[in-house]
Amino acid sequence: MLIPGINDNQIALLDIQRKNRGWKGFITPNPNCTTIGLAITLKPILDNFGINVVIMTSMQAVSGAGRNPGVISLDITDNVIPYIAGEEEKVQKETQKILGAFNGESIIPAEFMVSSTCTRINVLEGHTEAVLVSTKDHCEPDDVSMIMREFDPFKGLDLPTAPRNMIIVNNDPFRPQPRLDRNNDNGMATTVGRIRKDYAVKNGIKYVLVSHNTKMGAARGATLAAEILIKKGYIG
């Protein structure tokens, strides 16, 4: 699973995949669309301060569910669906894998624990996530805001689909909102707001993010992955 700019060091797994399976080609799937926004925002925190625990609650758009025919699709009207089958397990496992270490042969999952609650809400596009992080090293909200703003994994790569800003930090306490922020940088940026301290856990930092589930989380994210694989010489 590849999120360009986040776990590029794991691309070498494709060589192992081709060798083990006797393939000339390869398969590199997109992660779960809910995992993508979470992993993107955790990456600079992990690199700068370390992470003990992540607790996340998602409020996911209906477009992420595909097409539900007939009356079933009316269930979302005036409602919140508190369960998405298999979603929480995917987010927990994928986040640890994407942010894990590559030892040259396989991925060692990140040591921090991930707890997630995934819900479906009456929004067309754009996943919102409320995130609580316990960091290993002490940090202040301004520190987190700064490293997120400065996070620039695509510098010098000239990838056509890459966002100008991988993470956009908005200081308005009423942002991010899916309707206002899902299309930032053509739907490829993850927008973060409400970065603040939390005192229920050690070195607690919490924030809200919005990412576009059908752009960065799907088709355009796959295009970006192809672009970085071209740069790395895996696609001619």
Parallel/antiparallel/unpaired status of strands 51-60 and 113-120: parallel
Q: What is the pLDDT of residues 17-58, one digit of tens each?
A: 999 999 999 999 999 999 999 999 999 999 999 999 999 999
Q: What is the mean predicted confidence (pLDDT) over 82-107?
A: 96
Mean residue pLDDT of the chain comes to: 95
Give domain limits for the chain: 32-216
What letter represents residue 196's amino acid? Answer: R
Q: Find out if CATH 3.30.360.10 is the number for domain 32-216.
A: yes
Active site residues: 33, 127
* DSSP classification of residue 8: G
Query: Percent of the chain having pLDDT more than 70?
Result: 97
- Measured between alpha carbons, how far is 85 from 227 in angstroms, rounded to an integer? 32
Contact call for residues 127 and 33 (beta carbons, < 8 A): yes
pLDDT at 68: 55
| Cβ(75)–Cβ(81) below 8 Å | yes
> What whole-number distance in Å separates Cα of residue 101 and Cα of residue 175?
33
- End-to-end CA distance of the chain: give it in Å, rounded: 20
Residue 229: pLDDT above 70? Answer: yes
Average pLDDT of the segment spanning 210-219: 96
What's the predicted TM-score (pTM) here? 0.96
**87: left (phi > 0), else alpha (psi -120 to 50), else beta?**
alpha
Q: How confident is the model at residue 119 (pLDDT cuts 50, 70, 90)?
A: very high
